[in-house]
Structure formats: structure tokens, C-alpha cells
Structure 1
């Protein structure tokens, strides 16, 4: 029998938009109580209103920058003080920046931000919440990976490296927490149409739009559905890894575009 979210608390990072936003909504509809964090407080407030409408309860929401240890500490402390427990951690916060080749033209600041957000940020959140997840007797860590963690491509070396790292961390956690009541899952989507490409191209919306021209990419709700599915399996069922791609995508650089 599948689980419900009743009396279970789910933490979602990077929750103000895209996959994080849709995941928070999906988990709320499944009955979870939500703790949501993101850097953009203005967008986070819109999510708070929607979660309150769905659940009848105002969620815990606070600014969260996973690259800042003090921000992570304050957020985790706030969640624990508010709910007294944590059952699910969705490590969603992450980003891709640029499509630089690894040569003299590369922007090293972009590298540092991706590594700090996608890898160290995930580790910071996980480290601080593992004790509470174990204590809950019904914990679950869900990491947002990517098909880029399975297949490298030119111009994505550092972003792919971060997602290969997420895959490795997920596998290590599965072994380190074996025998404890914590499930470990990686959800690895291919192309998803969100703000992802706008961020990657540093705000160039026309260039970002070209990424999706002539095909039907996944959307944030598609990925959120998979996250909610994993989180609501029976307590003894661990979805180790789920890879999902649009029907129009076969590989990192192989697409079926209309007219081509």
C-alpha cells in the first residue's frame, strides 16, 4: 500500500520556481506538511499562499541559500523548531551556468557557483538533516540529478561533473544509511522547460527559447509527479534511480525537432 503524506514533513530546497515549486505543490496535494526554502523571497511568498490554500495550513517558509552555511543552519533550525520532525528532504536547488568549453575562455566563477550549489549545497542540507530523517523512523532523501549525470557532453563539462557527483553521493548515502529507516532516491530528468536555460544563458531569453524549439520537452509537473511517486511508495520500497526524458529526446544532444 502506498504511503500518504499525513503527519509527514517534507523539506524542498530551491522551491520558489520550476521543479521545486511544482514538487512542493505535488507533495502538499499528497498530504505532506511543507517546509520550503529559496533565495528569492518574493517568489517564495506566492508558493506559501498556494500551499496554504491547498492544505489549510501555512507552511514553514524561509530564505535559503544552500551555498551559505549560516543560511543553511538557520533554515534547518527553523524547520526543526517549527515542526519538530523531518521525514523527506528534496534536494532540488541547483543550476547550470554557461556552455563554456574547458579552455582559456571558460568562466571560472560559473564553475564555482555550480559546484557550490549543486554539490556542496546538497551535501550541506543532507548532513544537517540526516539525524532528523533517521530519528523520524520513516526518512527519505530525494536528490535531483540529471541525465547529465549519466552522459557528458561538450560545453557541459562542469555541470555534468556536478550531476555525476550527485549520482555518486546518492549511491554512497544508500550504502551509508543501509539498515536505517531512510530511503535514498535520485530523480534524473533530461530536458525540462523551466527557467533552467534562461539561467544557463545568463538571462538571454531568446537564446534560451531556441533550446526548446520544435520539440516537446518535459515540464516541471512531469518531474514533480515522479518525485511524489517515489515519496509515496510503501516504506520498504526504495526507488533507487529514475531517469525520465521527453519522447522527443534520446540523448543529451539528440532530439526529434519538427521540420528537421
Structure 2
């Protein structure tokens, strides 16, 4: 049998654990015997997750990754044994709106930048020294196929995910010799609350991308994250780009007058 790492030794810090990929990942790691620190803005959902998984396996912290001071305080106050973090899942992120760039709400752009970029770098920067001091670990970032391929209305969202991709690659260079692995996960069409958030609660618009097709689900992404972190410590998966079988790269868009 291929010698995978023992997941019961994982202590995983997860941002955005109140739904979607983060919530599914928390369940996956605990099911394998690991411990998780589940963070997010919706305390009621975190409490429900802790009740489901058990307080001995799941420690919760209600916070907003955009709040640097709150992040610093929360990480400094993590109790034993949850403070022995060796996997960081920087998952928190969102898309807002799908309007053309000249028509979008600047507040939406700022929220995406603050969450997808600033929240990400706060998470990674604050937790990296601990990983290094404890002899290694794994940082998993959540990008998107939108960081690889352009589509109408995805201007700033796609740009934030392109940042995530490059940030992860640069981390790999900075962490050479530190025994800290870095993997960027780039999902495509996945049915979670993503579209409901993007369209600000409009269920009709939110369901349209998934109509008459079979999208991936949160558990598919969580399994990929789990797999990448479970590989032997000498193996680093730089990125996983994944799409539903029913999704593919579209043709070039050529504008024609008349």
C-alpha cells in the first residue's frame, strides 16, 4: 500500500468553515481522526458543526478573515491541543455580482479583494511561523478556474483568484527547505452556496448555472484537498485544477461588427 500520511495526526485550521468546501473539509478530516479549528462569520453554523463533530475534535472561532486584528487575537488564543496546527486551509472567499466591469458595484469589488486576497494573506502569514517552528506542514489555498480562464463579468473575482495562484507558487519558493508544502485547489462548476452569495440571495439566478447539468459538490473538493495533504511529505502537489465532466473550456470570444 502507498504510504500515506496518518490523517489522525492532522490539526487543520480552516477558514470559511460555515458552508461549502470548508465545512465539507472539516467533516472529512474529523472522519479520518484529525482535529479541526473551524472558523467563519456565522457562529450559529459553527456551533452546529462543533455539536456534530464533537468538541474534542472541532474547536470553533467566530471571526471575519478581513479583520486582521481579530485574526491575530484568535490565532494567539487557540488552546491546546488545537494549537499544534500542521495544515492550513485558506478557504474563505466569495464572488459578488456578474455585471460588466463598467457597471459593477465598487463595494462588491472591494469586498472580494478584502476577502479573497487580504483575508488569505492574513491567514497564511499569521500561521506560517508556527508550521515552520513545528517542523513542517501544509498550506492549501482555494483558487478557481476563474484564475486561469476569463469569462464575462468575472473581472475582479477572476483577478483575485489569479492572485491566489501566484501567491501559492511564490510561497513554494519562499518555503524551500522549510518542509512546508503548498497546494492551490482550482475548482470549476461546483454546486454550493457560491452562486447564492454571488447573486445576493436570488435563488433563481443562483440555480441557473447548475440547471440541466451535473456539477461537482463540496465533498468532491474536500476529498481532493484531503488527498493532497495525505500524500507522503516528500510529495508536493502544486495545484489541482478540476472541473465537472459536463464543463469544458469555451471558445475564444470574437466580436464582429454589424
TM over 0.5: yes
Deviation digits for residues 140-173 of structure 1, max 9, x if unmatched?
A: 0000111011101110000000000000100100
* 1:192 CA drift (Å): 0.7
Give the distance between the partners of 2:129 and 2:171, measured in 1 at CA. 13
Shift of 1:251: 2.3
Which residue of the partner structure matches residue 156 of structure 1? 154
Give matches, 1:77-92, under 5 Å: 77-79=76-78, 83-92=82-91
SS at match of 1:16: coil
Distance between the aligned counterparts of 2:126 and 2:170, measured in 1? 16
CA root-mean-square deviation: 1.6
- Among candidates 223, 238, 241, match of residue 240 of structure 1: 238
Alignment of 1:26-41 (within 5 A): 26-41=28-43
2:188 match = 190
Match of 2:12 in 1: 10
Q: Distance in 2 between matches of 1:90 and 1:148?
A: 19
- 1:258 is aligned to none
For the residues of structure 2 that align with 1:230 and 1:178, how far apart are their CA atoms? Answer: 18
Matches within 5 A, 1:183-222: 183-222=181-220
Change beyond 3 A, Cα 1:101–1:238: same
Q: Is the 8 A contact 2:184 2:240 kept in 1?
A: yes
How far does residue 74 in structure 1 lie from its aligned partner after superposition?
2.2
Checking the alignment, whether the CA contact within 8 Å between 1:148 and 1:252 is kept in structure 2 is: no
CA contact (8 A) 1:35 1:61 kept: yes
Q: Deviations over 1:37-81 (max 9, x none)?
A: 0000011111111221xxx72421111200111221122112265
Tell me the residue number matched to 1:180. 178
| Partner SS state of residue 127, structure 2 | helix
Report the Cα distance in structure 1 between the residues aligned to 2:251 and 2:62, rounded to whole angstroms: 35
Q: Equivalent residue of 2:29, what SS?
A: helix
1:71 maps to 70
Query: Greater CA deviation, 78-87 or 160-169?
Result: 78-87
Deviation at 1:208, TM superposition (A): 0.6
Give the aligned length.
250
**Deviation by residue 1:76-118 (Cα, 9 ceiling, x = unmatched):** 1122655332100000000000012111x21000000000000
Look up the match of 1:101.
100
3-state SS, counterpart of residue 66 of structure 1: coil
1:191-243, Cα deviation, whole Å (9 max, x unpaired): 11000000000110111111110100000000000000011111111011001
Q: Does structure 2 conserve the Cα–Cα contact (< 8 Å) formed by 1:147 and 1:252? A: no
Q: In 2, distance between residues paired with 1:84 and 1:16?
A: 20
Q: Mind listing any 5+ residue stretches in structure 2 that lack a counterpart?
A: 253-258
Q: Where does structure 1 lack aligned partners over 5 or more consecutive residues?
A: 255-260
